[in-house]
Structure 1
Amino acid sequence: MTHTHPALAPFPVVIEFDIGWSDMDSFDHVSNLEYFRYFQDARLNYISRTGWLDTKRELGLGPILKSTSATYRKPLKYPDHVWVGVRAAEVQVDRVTFEHKLVSRSWDAVACEGLATVVSYDYRSECKTALPERVRKVIEELEALIK
């Protein structure tokens, strides 16, 4: 597994993309809302690898976002290329707290960090439920790759 910046070494899933002109706001930097989209894209890549989206289709047991936060370190501007790492910082019986880190090529530094708590949800019964065991197992395998 290769990473493009040392700050991303502890993250088993990293996505990369170019900042788009449309990501900018009237203050001449990337809108703070876009960072949450970047985090979501990385998190969904991670969640997809665990099979959690498959359990939603098959059993109605899927992820649902409980909370999310961001700490902005450096403003992003077009043009730039970024990498977003995601890892499971904490796994509980019915939820996973994901850590995100966004690195900017232009800054050669971390531009933003964030957390998101995702709850295991039974979409048929409309209530939280235990994390599917096969999802938990893949999370453990993904996280073991970077240790």
Structure 2
Amino acid sequence: MQKEGFTPSRLALADYPISWGHMDYMRHVNNVQYLRFFESARINAFNDWEKEALDTQQFMSGVGIGPIMRSCELAWRYPMRYPDTISVAYKVSWIGEDRFGLKGIIISHNARKVAARIDEVLVTVNYDDGGTYKVQVPEPWQQILNNSLEENKPYVEQ
């Protein structure tokens, strides 16, 4: 995990229990659940990062300028089963003028290894204009994302 820049002590979703309802007919965690785990972790990370963005609008409110998922590439590496517990780590991988990349991993506590990896591209849009036009990442968020990128520090739940 270290070579990817993730540290298990810095998590966006920590010690999350897998429930029976997460499994599918094949008796492993349904593939769509992995996307939901990553979504919950990403929202946790943004909510925490937003606390650093003083004097700005709510970046995650769906009003004004905010991010929208452009694409994601998910790689399943290990079929998890109930019972298990997971943790999810996120980090900023790159920053552009109107978009940025995030990488994440899901760690299975039972298997003690990475169960899935995700590579996401988020674009900033103006939701007040219908969310169809790309806009520059707001300055406070550029700084927050740059700090995270430079420090290579994924989000840590407080």
| TM-aligned CA deviation for residue 14 of structure 1 | 3.0
Q: Residue 102 of structure 2 corresponds to which residue in structure 1? A: 98
- Per the normalisation by structure 2, the TM-score is 0.80
After superposition, where does 1:50-89 map in structure 2 within 5 Å? 50-51=49-50, 54-55=58-59, 57=61, 60-89=64-93
State the SS of the aligned residue for 1:93: coil
Q: What is the aligned partner in structure 2 of residue 9 from structure 1?
A: 7
- CA apart distance, 1:56: 5.3
> How many pairs does the alignment contain?
143
Cα offset, 1:21, TM superposition = 1.1
Q: Is the 8 A contact 1:12 1:87 kept in 2?
A: no
**Structure 2: distance between partners of 1:72 and 1:113:** 7
Q: Distance in 2 between matches of 1:57 and 1:102?
A: 26
CA drift at 1:34: 0.5
Residue in 1 that maps onto 2:46 = 47
Structure 1 counterpart of 2:125 = 121
Match of 1:146 among 129, 132, 153: 153
- CA, structure 1 residues 145+104, in 2 after alignment: closer, same or farther (shift >3 Å)? same
- What is the rounded CA distance, in whole Å, between the counterparts of 1:111 and 1:57 in structure 2? 31
| Pair 1:131 & 2:137 matched | yes
CA distance 1:19–1:90, shift in 2 (3 Å): same
Matched, 1:28 2:27: yes
- Quick one: which amino acid aligns to residue 118 of structure 1? L
| Letter of the 2:102 counterpart | F
Task: Using the TM superposition, give the Cα deviation of residue 24 of structure 1 relative to its aligned residue in structure 2, in angstroms.
Answer: 0.5
| TM-score (norm: length of structure 1) | 0.85
Question: For each residue in 1:16-60, what CA deviation from the matched residue of structure 2 results, as whole angstroms up to 9, or x when unmatched?
Answer: 201111110001000000000111111111222232871354960
**Structure 1 residues 58 and 106, CA gap change in structure 2 (3 angstroms):** closer
**Identity over aligned residues, as a percent?**
24
AA in 1 matched with 2:105: K
**Unpaired segments of 5 or more residues in structure 1?**
none
